[in-house]
A and B are shown apart, each in its own frame.
Chain A
Amino acid sequence: EDQVTQSPEALRLQEGESSSLNCSYTVSGLRGLFWYRQDPGKGPEFLFTLYSAGEEKEKERLKATLTKKESFLHITAPKPEDSATYLCAVLGSGGSNYKLTFGKGTLLTVNP
């Protein structure tokens, strides 16, 4: 069974204070690792897909990286508008090769 563990559960940063969120996963044959952002009362918003170890993707202040066991979401010089819950999900090649397995998310708060 695919498993995803995200840490920390919550993170408070000052504006401009860079940090990283962690996503550890166990999956039988990774077909993709997905990062989403979720604002209160909204659905998850797609950010990145990573397919293989060593891959990196960037979007504005966010950079996602992938190893064989975990992914990191690096946030550089965050702004208050980056405050949200960040969700990590995996797509495995086991029996359910279309079902995303999500972690519980990291609640990021960026104070001005």
Chain B
Amino acid sequence: GAGVSQSPRYKVAKRGQDVALRCDPISGHVSLFWYQQALGQGPEFLTYFQNEAQLDKSGLPSDRFFAERPEGSVSTLKIQRTQQEDSAVYLCASSLTGDQPQHFGDGTRLSIL
């Protein structure tokens, strides 16, 4: 497809487990973003990549959160030692450049038991 693809769509994990969320951006999009969306709230910025370089990770809630985009295409958001407060929808977005409209995937709904 031509859009941003995220997997898995749903993830249930026990507290303390590690999880990995995947994002396939639109082909050719240089910029890639991760957002966290709580129920009834707007998305909140987590981190930003320009190609393979992570230019901003100021929104990551703790050092348990780690993101990478090693070849400048697919990105993975990893959460170590998950906590209940990590439960949320994690959205990935991509854009041609940093200030162009961002196009979002349908997100991964993460539930920590």
Contact = CB atoms under 8 A, between A and B. Distances in A.
Nearest to B109: A41
B1 interface: no
Determine the interface band of chain B, counting residues with CB < 8 A from chain A: 20 to 34
Interface string A36-63: 1000011111100100000000000000
A11 B104 CA distance: 25
Contact of A98 (B43, B99, B103): B99
Nearest to A31: B99
A98 B106 contact: no
Interface residues of A, number: 25
B101 A34 contact: yes
Contacts of B43: 44, 87, 100, 102
Contacts of B55: 98
A42 B103 CA distance: 12
Nearest to B105: A43
A104 B41 contact: yes
B31 interface: yes
A99 interface: yes
Given A102-B42, A104-B42, A46 B106 contact: no
A98 B48 contact: yes
Interface of B: 4, 6, 31, 33, 40-45, 48, 55-56, 58-59, 91, 93, 98-99, 101-107
